[in-house]
Amino acid sequence: MERVAIEKKVLSENDRIAQALRQQFAECGTLVLNCISSPGSGKTSLLERTLEGFPPDTRVAVVTGDIQTDNDARRLARFGFPVRQITTAGACHLDARMVEKSLQGWDLGRLDLLLIENVGNLVCPTSYDLGEESKIVILSVTEGDDKPLKYPGAFAKSRLMVLNKIDLLPYVPFDMEAARRNARSIHPDMEIIETSCTSGSGLDTWRQWIGERMRSRALKPS
CB-nearer residue toward another protein: 17 or 203: 17
Cβ-count burial 6-24 (b if 16+ within 10 Å, e if not):
eeeeeeeebeebbeebbeb
Number of residues that bind another protein (CB under 8 A): 27
**Listed residue (215, 205, 125) closest to 162, CA to CA:** 205
Query: Shortest gap between Cβ of 147 and another protein (angstroms)?
Result: 14
Which parts of 78-117 interact with another protein (CB under 8 A)? 91-93
| 53 contacts another protein (rule: CB under 8 A) | no
Q: Which of 28, 77, 123, 168 binds another protein (CB under 8 A)?
A: 123
Query: Shortest gap between Cβ of 155 and another protein (angstroms)?
Result: 9
| 43 contacts another protein (rule: CB under 8 A) | no
CB-nearer residue toward another protein: 6 or 219: 6
Query: Shortest gap between Cβ of 25 and another protein (angstroms)?
Result: 21
Question: For residue 137, with 0-12 CB atoms within 10 Å meaning exposed, 13-18 middle and 19 or more buried, which class applies?
Answer: buried
Site track 3-22 with another protein (rule: CB under 8 A), x = hit: xxxxxxxxxxx---------
**Which residues touch 3 (CB under 8 Å, ≥6 apart)?**
none
| 144 contacts another protein (rule: CB under 8 A) | no
Question: For residue 82, with 0-12 CB atoms within 10 Å meaning exposed, 13-18 middle and 19 or more buried, which class applies?
Answer: middle
CB-nearer residue toward another protein: 35 or 61: 35
Query: Shortest gap between Cβ of 2 and another protein (angstroms)?
Result: 5
> What would the DSSP string read from start to end of 56-122?
TT--EEEEEEESS-SHHHHHHHTTSS-EEEEE-TT-SS--HHHHHHHTTT--GGG-SEEEEE--S-S
Provide the binding-site residues for another protein, judged by CB under 8 A: 1-13, 91-93, 121, 123-127, 152-154, 156-157
